[in-house]
Amino acid sequence: MNEVWDLDRLYKGFDDPAFLQDMNKLKNLVVDLTAFAGELETMEPLEGLRRGIDLQEQLSCANDLAGYASLRGATDSKDPQPNSYMGQIMAIYSEAAAPLALFNEWAVKIPNLMEMVHGDEFLKDYEFLFANKLDSAKYQLSSAAEAAVAKLEMSGSEAWSELQGYLTSTVPVSYRGAVTNLSSIRNLAYDPDPQVRKDAYEAELACYEAIKEPVAHALNAIKLETISDCQLRGYESPLARTLKHSQMKKETLEVMLSAMEEYSPKFWQYLKAKAKALGHENGLPWYDLFAPMGKASTSFTTEDAKEYLLKQFSTFDDEMTAMVKRAFDEAWIDFYPRDGKRGGAFCADVEKLNESRILTNFDGTFSDVVTLAHELGHAFHSQCVSSHRPLNKDYSMPVAETASTFNECVVMNAAIAAANDKQEKLALIESQLQDATQIICDIFSRYRFEAMVFENREEQFMNADTLSDFMLTAQKQSYGDGLDHSCLHPYMWICKSHYYGPTFYNFPYAFGGLFARGLYAQYEKEGAAFVPKYKKLLHTTSVATVEDTAKVADIDLTDKQFWLDALQTIADQIDLFCKLVEE
């Protein structure tokens, strides 16, 4: 089986004639779009709408170009070419900002816009898109201002984000007389040896001293740019902008957070039970958050992982099973860690091929198999929206984690049900509770931290010590007495890239995790009859609000009880965990 993914079916290199041809195509499209925008006032409305949408559909070639550069860079950070070409691609694409803004300004002024869109065979698939354009018009800047913002972001927030990524990927970490990297040292949090976990935690905290101030500058700059952008556009707040972009009501967020807060003591109970089992008296120290428990001795090769996942998904859906098989057989996956390769895992849609590419750092544990299932869920989500028109394939952040977490539920619940050995069952349940605690306690701490940063940034520059104090406050509020307050992680704001990208890219993880668990509970009740409804729901995510998407499965997201029911499925596992560790 392959060890690295196949990118040659997309492009064979940056000197591939197909890549160079698409670069020229992108340049020419931007020229055509600019010329088109200059002629809008003389066009018939229907002709202008059709032409504008056609040009934007063709501009999707930029996704292939940028995607290829991003994928190449993810597996070899030492190669300067990906960043160089990404810069060129973004520079070209930024020239489209002004004509696109002109098109939007022109389109939303058409008196009977929605009637025209609804009545046209070519345009009617884009009713949701145009409805959003109308709604977003009040936040739109002039075409000249949009062009300026797009250009300034390249040397502003995007550059600061790149700095954070560079510093965290290159900072040397001294550990037991040797030097390693941050990704490797953080992976030791899962090591079975408690002294390894503690030493790795201390080494990680120590390495941040060398980069904390420049990363603090990056965070301050990005957040101030966000605040300024919101003020220029007339958003009430950065959170309001995020909710608008997320196609999500504030009421939905509030009832979800309220339910999470109500169930927080249950998660603290789990953390204290784990702490006691590991010999800690005052709550769990941070370095033991991911300490393995029980005994999951099974080791997986990539071939084993393939067979295991095929077996689990074959009981769920034939379409999912076939896609999983293709992912393994057709080299969609880059499996193993290596020098220069990005840490963690992600899935990227390759629209041109109607495929995905998945990066993992596989080392043979069951957790790695679950990670594969998670990323394959993203790939399945992409497959479910692939039949949409080009501009209808992007879904909002909150629903982005739905299919991935649902896949985790399929795999983990099957594994727990099949486990006969007490230690194996404990290991599986604890692994699932680790993840659940991340999407509830950790995500809540991230949300609270970011809220504090935005509350203070307009009035003051926050140095590294101030940011660390904010982080500790957020962790104490979110983890309660479940953690040992003398052993927290003040530098989580440095290593989490989400703070340096989309605003409030935290609560969507809690949403996706709980939404998926609620959906899985329905699947358990309805069985095979639920699967077509589930796939229709995923298909709907890119052309509806999150509330309307949920209605496909007869769910009201503004009803707190839905979230409480989803949380109760985790609470039941916490009770089982506590029972197992006490026996």
From 225, 247, 550, 499, select the one nearest 397 (Cα to Cα).
Answer: 247
Please give the chain's pLDDT, 583 residues, in tens. 789 999 999 999 999 999 999 999 999 999 999 999 999 999 999 999 999 999 999 999 999 999 999 999 999 988 999 999 999 999 999 999 989 989 999 999 999 999 999 999 999 999 999 999 999 888 988 878 888 898 899 899 999 999 999 999 999 999 999 999 998 999 899 999 999 999 999 999 999 999 999 999 999 999 999 999 999 999 999 999 999 999 999 999 999 999 999 999 999 999 999 999 999 999 999 999 999 998 877 789 999 999 999 999 999 999 999 999 999 999 999 999 888 888 889 999 999 999 999 999 998 988 899 999 999 999 999 999 999 999 999 999 899 989 999 999 999 999 988 888 888 899 999 988 999 999 999 999 999 999 999 999 999 999 999 999 999 999 999 999 999 999 999 999 999 999 998 899 999 999 999 999 999 999 999 999 999 999 999 999 999 999 999 999 999 999 999 999 999 999 999 999 999 998 7
From 512, 510, 511, 534, select the one nearest 522 (Cα to Cα).
Answer: 534
3-class DSSP state for residue 249?
A: coil
Rounded Cα gap, residues 17 and 11, in angstroms: 9
Rounded Cα gap, residues 146 and 152, in angstroms: 10
Q: DSSP secondary structure string, 362-416?
A: --S-HHHHHHHHHHHHHHHHHHHHTTS-GGG----TGGGGHHHHHHHHHHHHHHH
Q: DSSP secondary structure string, 458-492?
A: TT----HHHHHHHHHHHHHHHHGGGB-TTS--TTH
What is the tens place of the pLDDT at every residue in 471-515? 999 999 999 999 999 999 999 999 999 999 889 999 999 999 999
Which residues, in sequence order, are bridge partners of residue 347? 358
The model's pTM: 0.86
The answer to whether 251 and 558 have CB atoms below 8 angstroms apart is: yes
Q: Which helix (H) or strand (E) holds 522?
A: helix 507-526
The answer to whether 347 and 356 have CB atoms below 8 angstroms apart is: yes
Per the document, the length of the chain is 583
Full 3-state SS string of 8-36: CCCCCCCCCHHHHHHHHHHHHHHHHHHHH
What are the CA-CA distances from residue 469 to residues 122, 205, 207 (Å)?
A: 54, 14, 18
Distance of CA 317 to the CA centre of its chain: 24
Rounded Cα gap, residues 334 and 132, in angstroms: 37
Residue 290 pLDDT:
95
The answer to whether 546 and 246 have CB atoms below 8 angstroms apart is: yes
Full 3-state SS string of 348-363: EEEHHHCEEEEECCCC
Domains in the chain, start-ordered, CATH in brackets? 17-155 (1.20.140.70)
Q: Which helix (H) or strand (E) holds 56?
A: helix 45-58
The answer to whether 409 and 273 have CB atoms below 8 angstroms apart is: no
Residue 559 pLDDT:
96
Rounded Cα gap, residues 424 and 9, in angstroms: 41
The answer to whether 426 and 275 have CB atoms below 8 angstroms apart is: no
What are the CA-CA distances from residue 460 to residues 211, 220, 235, 444 (Å)?
A: 21, 9, 21, 24
From 194, 193, 423, select the one nearest 294 (Cα to Cα).
Answer: 423
Residue-wise over 171-180: b if at least 16 C-beta within 10 A, else e?
bebebeeeeb
Residue 422 pLDDT:
87
Query: Helices (DSSP H) in 234-301: which residue ranges?
Result: 238-245, 250-277
Rounded Cα gap, residues 438 and 444, in angstroms: 9
Q: Count other C-beta atoms under 10 Å from residue 317's C-beta.
A: 17
Type of residue numbered 283: G
Residue-wise over 271-285: b if at least 16 C-beta within 10 A, else e?
bbbbbebeebeebbb
Rounded Cα gap, residues 473 and 313, in angstroms: 42
Residue 302 pLDDT:
96
Question: 54-60: long-range contacts at Cβ-Cβ below 8 A with a sequence spacing of 24 or more?
Answer: 55/29, 56/100, 56/390, 56/391, 57/389, 57/390, 57/391, 58/25, 58/29, 59/26, 59/29, 59/30, 59/33, 59/93, 59/96, 60/351, 60/390, 60/391
